[in-house]
Structure 1
Amino acid sequence: MGDSDSEDSDGEGGLGNVSRVIIRPPGQSGKAKRGHLCFDAAFETGNLGKADLIGDFEYDLFLRPDTCNPRFRFWFNFTVDNVKQDQRVLFNIVNISKPRNLFNASLVPLVKSSSRPKWQRLPKKNVFYYRSLLHQNHYVLSFAFSFDKEDDVYQFAVAPPYSYSRLQSYLNVIDARQTDQRFVRSVLAKSVQNRNLDLLTIDHVTAKTKASRLDRGFIRVIVILCRVHPGDTPASFMCQGFIEFLIGNHPIAALLRDNFVFKIVPMVNPDGVFLGNNRCNLIGQDLNRTWQVATEYSHPTLYAIRNMLKELDNSDIYQIDFVIDLHANQSLHGCFIYGNTYEDVYRHERHLVFPRLFAANAYDYVAENTMFNADEKKVGCARRYFCERLSDTVNAYTVEVSMGGHYLKDGKTVALYTEDGCKYYRCGRNLARTFLHYYRFINVLPTPVVSEARLRRRNRPRTHHSRSRSRTRYEVKPRPKTTRCYAPIAYTNLSINYDSGGSSDEGGFSPTRPIAPGSSLFSGYRNYRRTHGSSAVTHDQYALLALKSSKYDHLGDFGGGGGVGGSRAHAYMHGRAATAEKSSKSVTFEQPLNVPPKPYLSIIDLNQLTRGCLNRKTGSFDADHHHHH
């Protein structure tokens, strides 16, 4: 319906970005009127393949796939102008290739205009992500918008862009302002389209004398890679925060610069970033799956980085400790780490230390998203490749930060990352601080006696006052008085020597000793020797007969042996003992088993006391007490 195939178009949808395409209503031609929207994505990092008018105010937008690869379609960045005052539109992005994302949670598109250059997120109530029957049941991202200024040019993007030109400008600025040569900027290689692969080297260690270098042993190297995927723009903000912190004046940064060497590659895929791709380079290959097959002609940036790391790894001076690849994530919240698994238990335990320290430093870290694996599908990524091809001392990680937001302390509320990248800068600073804690943890750097927390400044107003003791006094109610009745303890002799010696003569277990009836094979430790000279007991107190008879003990007296219940139990036990004596004649022992007598404790049954029998029990106790006296 729309005149999207006019001479202004860059061809059919999907072959290239739209370039100043004016969408006219059906039946109209000639000069475009105000309100006939003009779409443009023919600029650096731009991505929009086609735009169709399907209603009075509704447009279907088709994302351009990555160059030479139709699989990946998620990144978009385009402008709209020639709008009418208070014109309302509904944009449908109909061909997103990644259905699992955060559009239904916290991720919403960004917008800015020529008069308001700061990125702002669209209201969540105006953004919808759903399956559409009109689009072959594919997922569609729809967002409503109202243009409020006719002369403005509006720009929409899925995340704040970070272009190749912006990186070059930033590197030029920090290179011009440094006075004491805190880093060295060099070009490691050229891309397929002849763009620079920049390398920042922060090395204050090698400049020292050779003697001190020998005293230190190996010089530890930390390698940071970023922007392998062009659509991971938040990773560039995190990398910039990392660089700003390291070359700054913070004492932690000075300590790290003086002890370690940092190699930072801020943009591994400059061609893909310039073209506005989502994952691939110019020739349509995902660089984070081709590290093991990188060639000098098809993947010159990977080839140069790989050779640099191999040279450092084979050096007699340097030792690579970390290779960290920075990425952005479209489907999970917060900041987290992907690591490897190793068959060597000690290496795996050492590999877990850095993520735990990073979790303690980063307020937005999500431990549930952290994962350690050796997936065969990821064998071509930097994390998997370098942990296998370099020395065992190398820890290779992928650090991911969300495109949407992070959870607050309550675990439910999602705080969005700021559009200008400030919170992403903080992620980079937290990453740099974690290196200090890691090297203190493994005793490479000394742990200071005094905490590095900033001391309270003089004459600084106190923001927190110690809570004074409350003057309110509460009356303590006394406990109600209760009648106390002490239960007498009746015992024969508790002086038992629990001897567990190994000799069979002293009551220890011996394989040659016959097993008493009712005891198990490993019950030899139950046989003890009494310390006083009493006669040996010829039966096992843990035998089945003795255990069964113990249930009648509660019928006995409460004072030490009197009462009707006691006589019944005594008569019953006398009959059972006679029966046991007859049956025990057939059992012979090679030597008597020394066992202690069974001590017993007679107390008042509290259950009976609570049933209203207190007077009867107390009277029985008094009678027994007078009887003994």
Structure 2
Amino acid sequence: MERKMEESTVRDGDTAGSEAGGEDALVGNVNKLTVSPPGYSGALRKGHLVFDACFESGNLGRVDYISEFEFDLFIRPDTCNPRFRVWFNFTVENVRETQRVIFNVVNFSKTKSLYRDGMSPVVKSTSRPKWQRLPAKNVYYYRCPDHRRNYVMSFAFCFDREDDVYQFAYCYPYTYSRLQHYLASLERRNLPYLQREQLGLSVQQRRLDLLTITNSEAPGHLSPEKEKKLVFLTSRVHPGESPASFICQGVIDFLVSQHPVAQILRDHVIFKIVPMLNPDGVYLGNYRCSLMGFDLNRHWQDPSPWAHPTLHAVKQLIVQMSQDPRVSLEFYIDVHAHSTMLNGFMYGNVFEDEERVQRQAVFPRLLCQNAPDFSFSNTSFNRDVVKAGTGRRFLGGLLDDTSYCYTLEVSFYSYMPAGSNAPVPYTEETYMKLGRNVARTFLDYYKLSNLIKDNRPTHIQSSEVKSPTGNGKGNGVGRDAVDRQREKSQGVRH
């Protein structure tokens, strides 16, 4: 992209962007920042864009004026950790109708990105409050010589309503406040099988919520002396991975519903769900870290009660439940989003016992049959040394051999339906649908393990959407043909 010759003087002059200091000095978000042409000192005019990220989950650290039509945007690094710069979420106002601009996001910390494969940012405005993805044809991802050959994501946009405030984000935001409103609305329903409690507080004194979903007294289903199965699910340990919250809400919505499958599951299983493990990071607009700059998913082995209080509280609870003879902790699932892969998929652990390896593969195989966006061929089992501090790895070593620990990943961008070569971009609703399908897969699993007798009315189907290529054996046939070889060679972090 050709730059104006005067760019260096613009950046060195008294511009709004230069006040933030160099790229490495970004420590805060822009706050109603007016970006005018260099040297301009008159009254604010329409078209002199005003940028803001001083709101919940906001992130934009600096804006450089390149020309009337072009602006360089710098992501603010995670608090106390300059390594992570991926999530952005900001507003633009004071636009001129039909004003066309190019925004260049210039300081991503990751080089591999789904922007290469057609992903685009999401946008909404005050008169159109539903998030939508920008057209992929307006988004470019390339190595830029003007920014030390870093990768830059540029997108073109035309403002069409002068009075609107426009908001752009890396993916659909799901804020701490949104979660609090959602949980409060659940509480108001006074459901006898739902309990909400405060498990602890974050460093900045935000709630760490724990939901318990089960029919505490299920007549005729379990004898009093028989232990009850326990499923534990966590989400948003990495704050920028907002799709995880939509999946988690889908799980909760289904489990508290009056659907016959949900009622059967509540009779036989205790579900414990921590919807937001890193509330400070989410609130602050971080991508991967907590307030103090810790990647909490590397500290499960020895979490500090003062530096990692939310993790410490959850680990204590899981250890306590694993020693409770009245319950059998069978599943731990930690929900994430992935920035380079398509589809939903899982990571599991590696074991010497081949029979345990096969048992661990059962749940993802069943999920593949229930969810058309879930890929069993992308699912993998590993013992990578750098993942030793993750919830999946640590708890996999702590719990006994009847327990299964997974990381559930979902693409920030899209899934490839079986038999198709055209990616289908995820929406908020399809993320939640994956969550609903995860929840109902537990019925298939427990039917298979004979905990739940298959004496339901024949009209009740356990899966919401059957894979069109499913053969009834839960092996994900048909998925391999559409999972691209390129994805298998890409590095993964979770």
TM range (shorter): 0.7 to 0.9
**Per-residue displacement from partner, 1:403-426 (whole Å, max 9, x unpaired)?**
1111123231111112xx110111
Given residue 138 of structure 2, which amino acid in structure 1 is its aligned partner?
N
SS at match of 1:293: coil
2:435 to 428, 434, 441: 428
Counterpart position of 1:89: 101
Counterpart position of 1:194: 205
Give 1:6 shift: 5.0
SS at match of 1:119: strand
State the distance in 1 between where 2:145 and 2:19 align.
28
TM-score (norm 1): 0.69
**Per-residue displacement from partner, 1:291-325 (whole Å, max 9, x unpaired)?**
11201111011111111011111111111000000
TM-score (norm 2): 0.88
Give 1:55 shift: 2.0
Counterpart position of 2:279: 270
Counterpart position of 1:491: none
| 1:463-474 alignment, distance < 5 Å | none
Given residue 412 of structure 1, which amino acid in structure 2 is its aligned partner?
N
Alpha carbons of 1:357 and 1:87: their partners in 2 closer, same or farther (altered >3 Å)? same
Contact 2:218–2:267, Cα closer than 8 Å, also in 1: no
Counterpart position of 1:337: 346
Structure 1 runs of 4+ aligned residues shifted over 4 Å read 2-13, 206-211
Counterpart position of 1:73: 85
2:188 to 176, 187, 190: 176
| 1:250-399 alignment, distance < 5 Å | 250-399=259-408
Counterpart position of 1:32: 44
State the distance in 1 between where 2:17 and 2:63 align.
14
Give 1:184 shift: 0.4
Given residue 39 of structure 2, which amino acid in structure 1 is its aligned partner?
G
1:56 to 58, 68, 88: 68
Give 1:124 shift: 1.1
- 1:109 counterpart = 2:121: yes
Given residue 441 of structure 2, which amino acid in structure 1 is its aligned partner?
T
**Per-residue displacement from partner, 1:183-205 (whole Å, max 9, x unpaired)?**
00000000000000000011324
SS at match of 2:234: strand
Alpha carbons of 1:281 and 1:67: their partners in 2 closer, same or farther (altered >3 Å)? same
State the distance in 2 between where 1:207 and 1:126 align.
55
State the distance in 2 between where 1:213 and 1:4 align.
74
Given residue 190 of structure 1, which amino acid in structure 2 is its aligned partner?
L
Alpha carbons of 1:433 and 1:98: their partners in 2 closer, same or farther (altered >3 Å)? same
State the distance in 2 between where 1:26 and 1:281 align.
37
Contact 1:8–1:20, Cα closer than 8 Å, also in 2: no
State the distance in 2 between where 1:4 and 1:319 align.
64
State the distance in 1 between where 2:275 and 2:18 align.
36
Counterpart position of 1:588: none
Give 1:30 shift: 3.7
Given residue 434 of structure 1, which amino acid in structure 2 is its aligned partner?
T
Counterpart position of 1:22: 34
Contact 1:4–1:22, Cα closer than 8 Å, also in 2: no
Counterpart position of 1:413: 422
State the distance in 2 between where 1:229 and 1:4 align.
37
Counterpart position of 1:130: 142
State the distance in 1 between where 2:283 and 2:42 align.
34
State the distance in 2 between where 1:153 and 1:267 align.
29
State the distance in 1 between where 2:305 and 2:147 align.
42
**Per-residue displacement from partner, 1:318-340 (whole Å, max 9, x unpaired)?**
11000000111111111111111
Given residue 196 of structure 1, which amino acid in structure 2 is its aligned partner?
R
Counterpart position of 2:455: 448
State the distance in 1 between where 2:435 and 2:16 align.
46
State the distance in 1 between where 2:455 and 2:79 align.
53
- 1:152 counterpart = 2:161: no
1:203 to 214, 238, 242: 214
Percent identity of paired positions between Structure 1 and Structure 2? 49
Counterpart position of 1:594: none
State the distance in 1 between where 2:183 and 2:315 align.
23
Alpha carbons of 1:4 and 1:433: their partners in 2 closer, same or farther (altered >3 Å)? farther
State the distance in 2 between where 1:206 and 1:404 align.
42
Counterpart position of 2:473: none
Give 1:369 shift: 1.3
Higher mean C-alpha deviation, range 2-11 or range 402-411: 2-11
SS at match of 2:223: helix
State the distance in 2 between where 1:449 and 1:220 align.
20
State the distance in 2 between where 1:211 and 1:83 align.
63
State the distance in 1 between where 2:446 and 2:263 align.
14
Contact 2:30–2:62, Cα closer than 8 Å, also in 1: yes
State the distance in 2 between where 1:212 and 1:205 align.
12
Alpha carbons of 1:206 and 1:345: their partners in 2 closer, same or farther (altered >3 Å)? farther
Contact 1:203–1:260, Cα closer than 8 Å, also in 2: yes
Counterpart position of 1:536: none
Contact 1:4–1:51, Cα closer than 8 Å, also in 2: no
State the distance in 1 between where 2:354 and 2:292 align.
40
State the distance in 1 between where 2:420 and 2:348 align.
24
Give 1:10 shift: 6.6
Given residue 375 of structure 1, which amino acid in structure 2 is its aligned partner?
D
Contact 1:50–1:63, Cα closer than 8 Å, also in 2: yes
**Per-residue displacement from partner, 1:32-61 (whole Å, max 9, x unpaired)?**
211111110010000000000112311010
| 1:569-588 alignment, distance < 5 Å | none
State the distance in 2 between where 1:218 and 1:184 align.
20
State the distance in 2 between where 1:376 and 1:7 align.
41
In structure 1, the gaps of 5 or more residues are: 455-629
**Per-residue displacement from partner, 1:392-412 (whole Å, max 9, x unpaired)?**
221000111111111123231
Give 1:450 shift: 5.5
Given residue 431 of structure 1, which amino acid in structure 2 is its aligned partner?
V
Contact 2:96–2:159, Cα closer than 8 Å, also in 1: yes
Select the structure with the greater relative contact order (CA < 8 A; seq sep ≥ 6): 2
State the distance in 1 between where 2:17 and 2:101 align.
24
State the distance in 2 between where 1:41 and 1:274 align.
12
Contact 2:104–2:153, Cα closer than 8 Å, also in 1: yes
Alignment: residue pair count: 449
**Per-residue displacement from partner, 1:105-135 (whole Å, max 9, x unpaired)?**
1310011111111111111111000111111
SS at match of 1:444: coil
Given residue 212 of structure 2, which amino acid in structure 1 is its aligned partner?
T
State the distance in 1 between where 2:255 and 2:456 align.
24
SS at match of 2:408: strand
What value does the CA root-mean-square deviation take over the aligned residues?
Answer: 1.9
SS at match of 1:397: strand
Alpha carbons of 1:433 and 1:449: their partners in 2 closer, same or farther (altered >3 Å)? closer
SS at match of 2:82: coil
**Per-residue displacement from partner, 1:468-507 (whole Å, max 9, x unpaired)?**
xxxxxxxxxxxxxxxxxxxxxxxxxxxxxxxxxxxxxxxx
State the distance in 1 between where 2:310 and 2:122 align.
31
State the distance in 2 between where 1:410 and 1:439 align.
29
SS at match of 2:265: helix
**Per-residue displacement from partner, 1:373-405 (whole Å, max 9, x unpaired)?**
111110011110101012222100011111111
Give 1:8 shift: 12
Alpha carbons of 1:7 and 1:288: their partners in 2 closer, same or farther (altered >3 Å)? closer
SS at match of 1:291: coil
